[in-house]
Amino acid sequence: MKNFENSDVKISDLLEVMVQLRNPDGGCPWDLEQDFCSIAPYTIEEAYELPTPSSGVT
């Protein structure tokens, strides 16, 4: 996993990806179908997969 601690990656980069995925004109069909209720279980699942500082994963 990449360590972004000293990276030039910004939250604005993430937001731009989200805009592209949810663009009604050419965005990702799966992303366009999601709303808060449908995406919440996936968000929770992904959060559990994040490494913790004590795991030693960087």
- Model confidence at 55: pLDDT above 90: no
Distance separating alpha carbons of residues 31 and 50, to the nearest angstrom: 21
* 57, 49 Cβ separation under 8 angstroms: no
Q: What is the pTM of this model?
A: 0.56
Distance separating alpha carbons of residues 42 and 15, to the nearest angstrom: 18
Residue whose structure tokens are 């913790």:
52
Phi and psi at 43, nearest 5°, equal -65, -45
Q: How high is the pLDDT of residue 28?
A: 95
| Each residue's pLDDT tens digit, 6-30 | 667 788 888 999 999 999 999 999 9
Q: How high is the pLDDT of residue 9?
A: 73
